[in-house]
Amino acid sequence: MGLGGDVVTALAKEPQRAGLVMDFDGVLSPIVADPATSRLLPGTGEVLKDLAARLGLVALVSGRPVSFLVERAGIEGVTLVGSYGVETYAEGRVQVLPEVEEWLPVVDRARERLQDSLGALPGVHLEDKGVAIAVHWRQAPDRAVAAQLVGDVVQDVVSETGLHREPGVRRGTASPAVAGQGRRAAAAGRGHGSEPGRICRG
C-alpha cells in the first residue's frame, strides 16, 4: 500500500485521534496574482466541515492573518492558524502568542521602511499581515529585476530589525522569528488531547 493508502487507513482506524493540517494557499485555494482575491475552491468548505465532525482535529494554516482565514474559511469545527503560527482561531476565539507583542513596534518600523523603498515600484505590492509584512512581485513587468530589488531591501530590513525572513513564491515576508510550518502544525495541535495521535499535513 502506498503512502496515500496508509494515511487513509490510519485516519479511518482511529479518527478521533487523527488530525489533518493543511495549508490554505496552493492547497485549498489556488495561487492567484492578487492575494486579496484568494478563495476556497468550490465545495471545499462542505468537505472540511464533514471531516471536522469525524476527526479529532482539522486545521488550516497560513501566513495570512487569522482574520483573513475566518472571513474565507470560518467553518464549524475547523481550527485556523494564521500569521506564521502567531494567531489561532478555534471555537469562536482568537488567541495570540504573548511573546509576539513586543515585536509589533518593530514590525511597524519595517512596514514603513518597506513602503518607502518599494511602494512605488510597478507591479510590487505590500501585503500588511498585522504581525508581518509580505512583499509580492508577481505582477512586476520584469520579475527577475523585481525579485533582486525586493530581495535586497527585505534582507536589509531583517538585518536592521531582527525580524525573520520567510521565503515564498514571488514574495518575501518579514515577521517575528517565532514560527514556521512546524510551529504552525504544533500550534494547531495544542489542546487536542494528551495522547499522541497522527497528524497528516498537506
23 in catalytic set: yes
Is the torsion defined by CA of 44, 47, 53, 54 positive or negative? negative
C-alpha cell at 27: 492547497
Neighbour-count burial of 144, counting CB atoms closer than 10 A to its CB (0-12 exposed, 13-18 middle, 19+ buried): exposed
Q: Which of 23, 25, 34, 142 is catalytic?
A: 23
What is the torsional sign of CA 92, 77, 86, 73? negative
Characterize the bridge pairing of strands 93-96 and 87-90: antiparallel
Residues annotated catalytic, as ranges? 23
